[in-house]
Amino acid sequence: MIHITRKEHFNAAHRMYREEWSAEKNFEVFGKCANPNWHGHNYNLYVTVKGEITHATGYLIDLKELKQIINEYVIEKLDHKNINMDVEFMAGKMASTELLTIEIFNQLKGPIEAYPGVFLHSVKLFETENNSAEYFGG
């Protein structure tokens, strides 16, 4: 079994808040992340797939094809968007890095695993150079 990781990048804005809470409560819980004028991040996304190498090609999956899947199902939907307002797969969810990571995994699992013998192992999302979330499914 081998693991292959593809790194991609996108920029997006979000706001951490609960509509049913007051502005004061949102600021108390989420701090400056509750800014009503939003804030943005330069996200780095790492998608790791696993499986057995195909001996005819020497690949697990052609990385150009993996890039196309990530771009179609994730990057095009998130890059230069407002996660709270513009991203359909995040509708009704808090725009936390943790939930965004899980939803990215869910977006990618089907298209990646449509390739015989290729399995989505994990999605790791860096919100900043110091903060990241990683999801392995389940």
CA nearest to 135, candidates 91, 104, 111: 104
33 is catalytic: yes
127 is catalytic: yes
20 is catalytic: no
Structural domain boundaries of the chain? 2-135
Candidates 8, 33, 41, 113; catalytic one: 33
Mean pLDDT, each 10-residue run in order, the chain (138 residues): 98 95 96 93 98 92 97 98 97 96 98 97 97 96
Neighbours of 63 (CB within 10 A): 13
DSSP state of 103: H
* pLDDT score at 55: 82
CA nearest to 48, candidates 133, 113, 105, 122: 122
**What one-letter code names the amino acid at 32?**
K
Candidates 3, 9, 39, 80; catalytic one: 80
For the domain made up of 2-135, the CATH class stated in words is alpha beta
pTM: 0.95
- Report the side by side order of strands in the sheet with 81-82: 81-82, 2-14, 39-51, 118-126, 132-135
Candidates 14, 103, 121, 127; catalytic one: 127
* pLDDT score at 50: 98
* pLDDT score at 138: 83
